[in-house]
A and B are shown apart, each in its own frame.
Chain A
């Protein structure tokens, strides 16, 4: 006859086995994600951190120890940082405002809006390099530059010289911002629009009954209610813009002069185009990463307080 203690022991063993198995399953399930994270994020970051302390090139990164000397940034680094900040600021403001405006416009269910939505979204599907090429032709000062050809009559009426888009250090950066805004606004607009559509219509009706003007309704009701999505946009546009590379590389390659040299180009340049400055490029990369972390932490610490989560 089996006694009670035996049964208890067996049940306990069974429970432990089930617990063990579920523990194993859960770790197996996160394993692929963890492996990717380690291989493509943690390991490169650590490697970059170590390389930033050495003198060397891509073939031999560890030629000699330099310690923190790589972190003594050269003057052109600050130019690149300033350019990146300017780009990020312009892109953030332009993309945010335009995507909110377009979303507000396309929010109503009209046939035209379905077409408009597709038209706005399509650029997002175009590869960055292709878009860069197309726009550098559109903005070209050569006779085939579409923008200036179309605008020529207006220049003549206003009696102003034609805009030199990518060829002038005053307008080059903004021209790139313009291209990237065109490319991404449809995507962000879609996010904002779906947030707007989730606001119950009764709230708007109630606001009308409360005598709220449409502008007041927009700022007092719509904007606060889509603030979680706006915050998401703030974070993604900021971090995304900070890393801008392909469009700049294609459209201006940092020029004219250093006018559009942004951080990621600067890092690329020092890492692969020059002699024995890989360590310095890594140091610049670390600083760029720290700045992005700082900005994001700032956003979460101060801006997020203004976000209304449901």
Chain B
């Protein structure tokens, strides 16, 4: 169990400033996901916690104790790497045992723990195999067992699922969530995949260019995006953003748009559109629609009867419309009434 606090932390690689003056608290016992596009500084933060990429300035606290200059082995953390970083020349057992041996854990205790955690990750039959004989998913499990067996206060995971195929990734996602619930340990998980972030996190920390864009639970991030970046990062396809004039922009998620051949009542937004493309995704369809002003938007809808190259009405309810100021910051749901009225003025 541990809470991690970053205080005015910065990191530069040579002249490149990756992170500047960052403050962040990672809650004890929670599953926190650092998410953002590549180069946003999320892995840099994780490596600071691990102690393998020290901060250029600032302090990092773990349960109130300053660990900024503590060597990694003294930090009571374990890390799972993207490429697993399994020791290829050691057997599965030796891989799991290595950290314990270095900690001078006595042999009977080591054996007991190896048996326990090999069982948890389902690798018991493979303990004496070499990693090169195992599949990607199995190697991932070794990496997990190797991390868990140390019983750390904090688990750090750097895109641990990105090398797995889609099916296995989905299964491992569920397993990791269960694991975190069972262990009750602080998990810090780095990913660029918004779906992973949404499905696994208690708290999402959304980052871009070394700055935190938003911190919140998945529901908050989805329903109340702090800014345009946040609104467009989460959701596939990203939120449609359109100009309202005077620097104000408004946005509607593709799945919140109501698209019909006829005009419906009680909507806040009415636009004429023309379907350009139509993709069948299974439960839903994804449409690309050209608006009368020439702009295009994406729409997700279950309406299989709407064909390509037809005219439709694009509509949305007031509560699904987000307004953003000139600085990209969200002005609240539905926005001030004045903005809704202004939008109404543009309706067709």
The interface of chain A, by Cβ under 8 A from chain B, is: 200, 202-203, 205-213, 216, 220-221, 224-225, 227, 308, 310
Asked if A210 contacts B89 (CB within 8 A), the reply is no
Residues of A within 8 A of B86 (CB): 203
If over half of B's interface residues share one DSSP class (helix, strand or loop), that class is named, otherwise mixed; here it is loop
| Contact A211:B87 (CB < 8 A) given known A202-B81, A206-B81, A310-B132 | no
Contact with A along B70-107 (1 / 0, CB 8 A): 01110001110111011111100000001100110000
| Contact A200:B85 (CB < 8 A) given known A205-B52, A210-B99, A210-B102 | yes
Residues of A within 8 A of B77 (CB): 209
Residue of B with least CB distance to A205: B52
Given A205-B79, A225-B89, output 13 extra A-B contacts at Cβ < 8 Å: A200-B85, A202-B83, A203-B85, A203-B87, A206-B81, A207-B98, A208-B72, A209-B51, A210-B98, A210-B99, A211-B73, A212-B98, A310-B88
- From A205, A213, A220, B85 is in contact (CB under 8 Å) with A205
In the assembled complex, how far is the CB of residue B313 from the closest CB belonging to chain A, in whole angstroms? Answer: 53
If over half of A's interface residues share one DSSP class (helix, strand or loop), that class is named, otherwise mixed; here it is helix
Residues of B within 8 A of A210 (CB): 73, 98-99, 102, 146, 150
| Contact A225:B52 (CB < 8 A) given known A206-B81, A209-B79, A211-B99 | no
At the interface, yes or no: B226 with Cβ under 8 Å from chain A?
no
| A202, B79: Cα distance in complex, Å | 10
| A213, B72: Cα distance in complex, Å | 12
In the assembled complex, how far is the CB of residue A107 from the closest CB belonging to chain B, in whole angstroms? Answer: 17
The interface of chain B, by Cβ under 8 A from chain A, is: 50-52, 71-73, 77-79, 81-83, 85-90, 98-99, 102-103, 132, 146, 150
Residues of B within 8 A of A310 (CB): 88, 132
Asked if A209 contacts B78 (CB within 8 A), the reply is yes
| Contact A208:B89 (CB < 8 A) given known A202-B83, A216-B102, A310-B132 | no
Cβ contacts A to B, 27 pairs, < 8 Å: A200-B83, A202-B82, A203-B85, A205-B81, A205-B85, A206-B85, A206-B87, A207-B98, A208-B71, A208-B73, A209-B52, A209-B72, A209-B79, A210-B73, A210-B99, A210-B146, A211-B99, A211-B102, A212-B73, A212-B98, A220-B87, A220-B90, A221-B87, A224-B89, A227-B89, A308-B89, A310-B132
| A188, B328: Cα distance in complex, Å | 59
| Contact A211:B103 (CB < 8 A) given known A202-B81, A202-B83, A206-B79 | yes
| A224, B95: Cα distance in complex, Å | 14
In the assembled complex, how far is the CB of residue B71 from the closest CB belonging to chain A, in whole angstroms? Answer: 8
Residues of A within 8 A of B146 (CB): 210
Asked if A225 contacts B88 (CB within 8 A), the reply is yes
Residues of A within 8 A of B71 (CB): 208
| Contact A209:B73 (CB < 8 A) given known A224-B89, A225-B88, A310-B88 | yes
Asked if B132 contacts A209 (CB within 8 A), the reply is no
Asked if B78 contacts A221 (CB within 8 A), the reply is no
Residues of A within 8 A of B51 (CB): 209
Residue of A with least CB distance to B84: A202
Residues of B within 8 A of A227 (CB): 89
Residues of A within 8 A of B83 (CB): 200, 202
| A227, B88: Cα distance in complex, Å | 12
Residues of B within 8 A of A211 (CB): 73, 99, 102-103
| A213, B51: Cα distance in complex, Å | 15
Residues of B within 8 A of A216 (CB): 102
| A220, B85: Cα distance in complex, Å | 14
Scoring A203, A210, A220 by chain B CB atoms within 10 A of each residue's CB, the highest score goes to: A210
| A77, B132: Cα distance in complex, Å | 48
Scoring A206, A207, A208, A227 by chain B CB atoms within 10 A of each residue's CB, the highest score goes to: A206
| A221, B83: Cα distance in complex, Å | 17
In the assembled complex, how far is the CB of residue B11 from the closest CB belonging to chain A, in whole angstroms? Answer: 16
In the assembled complex, how far is the CB of residue B258 from the closest CB belonging to chain A, in whole angstroms? Answer: 48
| Contact A209:B98 (CB < 8 A) given known A200-B85, A203-B87, A225-B89 | no
| A18, B90: Cα distance in complex, Å | 49
| A220, B79: Cα distance in complex, Å | 20
Asked if A209 contacts B89 (CB within 8 A), the reply is no
| A213, B85: Cα distance in complex, Å | 17
Residue of B with least CB distance to A213: B102
Scoring A205, A209, A212, A227 by chain B CB atoms within 10 A of each residue's CB, the highest score goes to: A209
| A221, B86: Cα distance in complex, Å | 11
Residue of B with least CB distance to A224: B89
Residue of A with least CB distance to B82: A202
| A224, B50: Cα distance in complex, Å | 26
4 nearest A-B residue pairs (beta carbon): A211-B73, A210-B99, A224-B89, A202-B85
In the assembled complex, how far is the CB of residue B146 from the closest CB belonging to chain A, in whole angstroms? Answer: 8
In the assembled complex, how far is the CB of residue A69 from the closest CB belonging to chain B, in whole angstroms? Answer: 51
| A208, B98: Cα distance in complex, Å | 11
Residues of A within 8 A of B102 (CB): 210-213, 216
Residues of A within 8 A of B88 (CB): 203, 225, 308, 310
| A220, B82: Cα distance in complex, Å | 22
| A310, B86: Cα distance in complex, Å | 12
| A200, B85: Cα distance in complex, Å | 8
Residues of A within 8 A of B90 (CB): 220, 224
| A299, B168: Cα distance in complex, Å | 43
Asked if B87 contacts A209 (CB within 8 A), the reply is no
| A116, B202: Cα distance in complex, Å | 52
Residues of A within 8 A of B103 (CB): 211
Residues of A within 8 A of B50 (CB): 205, 209
Residues of B within 8 A of A308 (CB): 88-89
In the assembled complex, how far is the CB of residue A73 from the closest CB belonging to chain B, in whole angstroms? Answer: 43
| A214, B146: Cα distance in complex, Å | 20
Residues of B within 8 A of A202 (CB): 81-83, 85
| A213, B71: Cα distance in complex, Å | 12
In the assembled complex, how far is the CB of residue B319 from the closest CB belonging to chain A, in whole angstroms? Answer: 46
Residue of A with least CB distance to B78: A209
Asked if A208 contacts B99 (CB within 8 A), the reply is no
In the assembled complex, how far is the CB of residue B82 from the closest CB belonging to chain A, in whole angstroms? Answer: 8
| A213, B99: Cα distance in complex, Å | 11
